[in-house]
Structure 1
Amino acid sequence: MLGGGGMNPRKMKQMMKQMGIDVTELDVEEVVIRTGEEDLVFDAPQVTRMDAQGQETYQIVGEPESVDVGTGGSGEDSGAAEEAAALPEDDIAIVAERAGVPEQDAIEALEAEEGDLAAAIARLE
């Protein structure tokens, strides 16, 4: 940032304020930086926003996890697992029971119908 090695943090803030630089700590759960080859996922990073002369700059401190683009994490199946996790277990059970099909078929129908229970059941009957 501004060199200050060993400088009192309070004095550093005061100097930055005098120069018109406003620093704000943000409460962030996750940051994703998407490139052409990979996603860099920071879980619970420390993020600071600096406003100086109308320009906002963000600083991210943390250890990223690299995720290849198109794999959805650890392979093709993880994408389906994430989508299934997004569907309520009760909805999956209801569709499977009413349509008399295995849960995997119920999940596929719910995904195809964007979570609409009645449409998923109708699709399977």
Structure 2
Amino acid sequence: MFGGGGGGLNPRKMEQMMKQMGIDVDDIDAEEVIIRTADHDLVFTDPEVTKMDARGQETYQVIGTPEERDSGSAGELEAGESDDDSAGGVDEDDVDLVVTRTGASEEEARQALEDNDGDLAATVAELE
């Protein structure tokens, strides 16, 4: 839009031009961004996220390389996968939640979460 080809504009000059046009730009310290589609989930881990507000219209820019996952599998299961201390890839907070909600033992809750690929709703429904 503003620069062509070879290196574009200086980022500082670009920011000044955007402010003159009424566009506010803020960086967001995001840990993860998940984009769900009908076919799959795109998971951006530690992405660079910028929010642009142009006269009330917010636009988000996500920069990073996504990992493609099965539809609906990203999110709650993700926390368990990134926690190396949790047994079997299940988040301990999810286990506690299932135990509290259903009265199941920790082992039953953990196994049910694993069987349901970390899906809390399906696990609770199965154990209730």
TM-score bracket for this pair, using the shorter chain length: 0.5 to 0.7
Provide the TM-score with structure 2 as the length reference.
Answer: 0.59
Q: Map Cα deviations across residues 17-69 of structure 1 (whole Å, 9 max, x no partner).
A: 11101100000000000000100000000000000021000000000000012
**How far apart are the structure 1 equivalents of 2:38 and 2:55?**
31
**How far apart are the structure 1 equivalents of 2:58 and 2:112?**
45
Structure 2 partner of 1:60: 62
- How far did residue 108 of structure 1 move? 5.1
Structure 1 partner of 2:17: 15
**Structure with greater Cα Rg:** 1
CA contact (8 A) 2:2 2:9 kept: no
Q: Map Cα deviations across residues 49-105 of structure 1 (whole Å, 9 max, x no partner).
A: 0000210000000000000125x37xxxx9x843667326xx8xxx86xxxxxx744
- How far did residue 11 of structure 1 move? 1.4
Amino acid at match of 1:66: E
Unmatched runs of 5 consecutive residues or more in structure 2:
75-79, 81-87, 114-122
Unmatched runs of 5 consecutive residues or more in structure 1:
97-102, 114-119, 121-125
State the aligned residue count: 99
CA contact (8 A) 2:2 2:8 kept: no
Structure 1 partner of 2:49: 47
Does residue 24 of the first structure (1) align with residue 26 of the second (2)? yes
- How far did residue 107 of structure 1 move? 3.6
Provide the TM-score with structure 1 as the length reference.
Answer: 0.60
User: Alignment partner of 1:3: what SS?
Assistant: coil
Which has the higher mean CA deviation after the structures are superposed, 9-18 or 44-53?
9-18
